[in-house]
Every structure is written in C-alpha cells, then in structure tokens.
C-alpha cells in the first residue's frame, strides 16, 4: 500500500480549506492510505512537520508527498503565512526520514521548478518529483481545481507523482505554465520533447503504444489521434493552443519511451 501525505500550508488568496478538502477526497478516491496535514488556512506548526516526517519514516511501502503551499522566486515555501522557509532543511529532513528509500513528490507550489532543483540535490536516488509550475512562473487554483475534480470522478489508483502529472496533462491542463518532471536519471524538459517530435510521423506501432499507455486516463481515444495528426504537421509547440498543449506534452512524452507509469489497479473499471 502506498502511503500518501497531503501537506497543505496557508494558501490565501490562491486556495483555502475547500480546495484542500477537494484534493483530499480526490486522493482518497484513488485508494490512498492518506494522511492530511494542514487545511490551507492555518499556519503549519513544528508538530505538523514532525508528524509528516514520522509518517514517512514509518511507511511500509512507497510514499507520495503532495505539497500544497505557496512558493516564491527564491525557491522557498510558505508553511506560515508571513514566513518563507528554506527548502534545503525541509528536504534534508525528508531524506533522513526516508532512510535511503525513494519518495514521489507532487507539488502545486508556484515556482515549483526551483523547489525541484533543490530537492534533486538532496533526496535519495530513484525519487520522482513532479511540479505543476516551472522555475520562472506561478500557477493559480483555477488551473488545479479541475484536476482534483477529475480524480474525484475517476478511480485510477493514480498516486505516483508521474501518473498524477500525466493525468493532469491529459485531463485538466488549460494553460501554458510548463510543468516539470524528474524521474530517476532524467530531468524531462517536456516542451523540448514535444518540439523534437513536431514534424515527425507516428508509425502504426507508435500510435498503438501511445493509446495503450494513455488509455486509462481517457474515455475518448480519438482525441489522441487528433493531436498526433497535429504534431506530425506542426513546426513547434507554439502551434498548440492551451486546450491542446497538455495533451501534446503527454503524447510526446509517452512517445519518448521514458514514461514509466505506476498505475496499480485498485477499483478502476475501463470506461471505453
């Protein structure tokens, strides 16, 4: 059983308790053994952080940390409303609690690419880090809330950082804030992967593989053919509007052969 920890700092004005509870329900709908710490309104205490570290230390299986907190341009996070915390010690404490085990981190924090860079220097090898925002930009709740709605409506056992990011790209992403993803041995520039794929034909085998890989997230697989057709005719990622951008990123990432989706069957039944 994968242990999932939802750590939610004070989120005003971007998010609050309603958004955090939606995230909690979405993760539980995926079959998560979930511990929520924080509610999106109150400051987190030292005891809260200690509880998170204890849960990580005591976990019997894989661990996913879902981080909902404000971030800033310095790569810091706000666990207290008026106090930015260095992420170096935060990730050092997590690494110590892991006892050389890997962790998945899925972050909704602004400037998440900066937090990711710090984390990768500290966390154990084989850890996976997915962030919904790049190093140079933020993200708002109205970009994220549709994702929690999607997970509330689909039982996918979608609890690894990579699978959550792919689900976000396919179901909910309606902006051009480039997410960041690091898996063992790779930091993936998803837009560069898409740009490298533009103008290249998909073979029959490519299309079959991509459909089989991404089918769990979609009810209408014809949308994949539509986007693959457009990728073949496009010059760059600039040819994709916000409604198609996430789909194109997911398809090109799947086509790269680097996707290692961790979707363990729970109570999901195919819908197509």
What confidence tens digit (pLDDT) does each residue in 233-258 have? 999 999 999 999 999 999 999 999 98
Q: What is the mean pLDDT of residues 153-179?
A: 93
Say which residues have a Cβ less than 8 Å from residue 38's Cβ, sequence separation at least 6.
Answer: 6, 7, 8, 9, 10, 20, 44, 48, 68, 79
Name the residue with higher pLDDT: 64 or 82: 64
Given a cut of 80, whether residue 185 has pLDDT beyond it is: no
Name the residue with higher pLDDT: 14 or 148: 148
Q: How confident is the model at residue 168 (pLDDT cuts 50, 70, 90)?
A: very high
Q: Is the pTM of the predicted complex or chain greater than 0.85?
A: yes
Q: How confident is the model at residue 151 (pLDDT cuts 50, 70, 90)?
A: very high
Contact 210, 251 (CB under 8 A): yes
Closest CA to 178 of 134, 242, 130: 134
| Phi and psi angles of residue 107, each rounded to the nearest 5 degrees, phi first | -115, 135
Give the DSSP H or E segment for 106.
strand 104-107
Given a cut of 50, whether residue 84 has pLDDT beyond it is: yes
Q: What pLDDT score does 262 carry?
A: 65
| Residues shown for the chain | 272
Q: What is the longest distance spanned by two Cα atoms in the chain? A: 55
Q: How confident is the model at residue 50 (pLDDT cuts 50, 70, 90)?
A: very high
Closest CA to 260 of 156, 172, 189, 188: 188
In the chain the domains, ranked by start, together with CATH numbers, are 3-188 (3.40.50.1460), 190-255 (no CATH)
Q: What's the angle, vertex CA 157, arms to CA 155 and CA 159, rounded to 5?
A: 125
């Amino acid at each position: 059983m994968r242990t999932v920890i939802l750590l939610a700092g004070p989120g005003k004005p971007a998010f609050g308790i309603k958004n955090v509870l939606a995230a909690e329900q979405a993760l539980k709908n995926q079959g998560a053994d979930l511990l929520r710490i924080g509610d999106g309104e109150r400051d987190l205490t030292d005891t809260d952080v200690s509880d998170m570290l204890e849960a990580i230390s005591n976990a019997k299986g894989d661990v996913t940390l879902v981080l909902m907190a404000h971030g800033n341009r310095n790569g810091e996070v706000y666990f207290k409303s008026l106090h930015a915390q260095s992420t170096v010690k935060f990730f050092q404490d997590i690494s110590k609690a892991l006892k050389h085990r890997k962790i998945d981190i899925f972050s909704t924090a602004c400037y998440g690419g900066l937090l990711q860079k710090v984390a990768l220097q500290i966390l154990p090898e084989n850890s996976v880090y997915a962030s919904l925002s790049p190093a140079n930009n933020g993200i708002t709740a109205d970009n994220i809330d549709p994702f929690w709605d999607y997970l509330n409506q689909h039982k996918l056992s979608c609890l690894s950082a990579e699978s959550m990011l792919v689900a976000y790209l396919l179901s909910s992403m309606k902006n051009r804030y480039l997410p960041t993803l690091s898996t063992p041995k790779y930091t993936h520039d998803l837009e560069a992967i898409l740009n490298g794929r533009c103008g290249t034909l998909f073979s029959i085998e490519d299309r079959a593989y991509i459909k089989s890989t991404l089918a769990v997230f979609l009810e209408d697989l014809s949308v994949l053919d539509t986007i693959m057709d457009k990728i073949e005719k496009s010059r760059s990622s600039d040819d994709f509007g916000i409604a198609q951008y996430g789909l194109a990123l997911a398809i090109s990432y799947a086509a790269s052969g680097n996707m290692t989706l961790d979707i363990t069957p729970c109570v999901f039944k195919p819908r197509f």
